[in-house]
Amino acid sequence: PLVNLAESGSGVLDISQDQDEIFELSHRVAVLFEGHLSSPLVASATSRDELGLLMSGVGIEDDEARDVA
């Protein structure tokens, strides 16, 4: 499973909207919303509320977000 890969030090790209899964697997998180990619965040220093806001587009179109469309 992905957890074993992550724990062994392998890089894992997980595309998910399940916050439990995201926080269980991730060291860093970034959000893609409508073609804009947020700056990477340290998962352990990110709250569920902060991640939820980014997932709904709040704050993701600021100067630090990158256009990937």
Task: Report pTM.
Answer: 0.75
The gap between the terminal CA atoms of the chain, to the nearest Å, is 31
Helix (H) or strand (E) holding 67: strand 66-67
∠18-24-26 over CA atoms, to 5°?
90
For the cut 70, the answer to whether the pLDDT of residue 66 exceeds it is no
Task: Give the tens place of pLDDT for each residue, 15-65.
Answer: 999 999 899 888 899 999 988 899 999 999 999 999 999 999 998 876 455
Q: Band of the pLDDT at 4, cuts 50, 70, 90?
A: confident
Q: What is the pLDDT of residue 24?
A: 86
Q: Band of the pLDDT at 68, cuts 50, 70, 90?
A: low
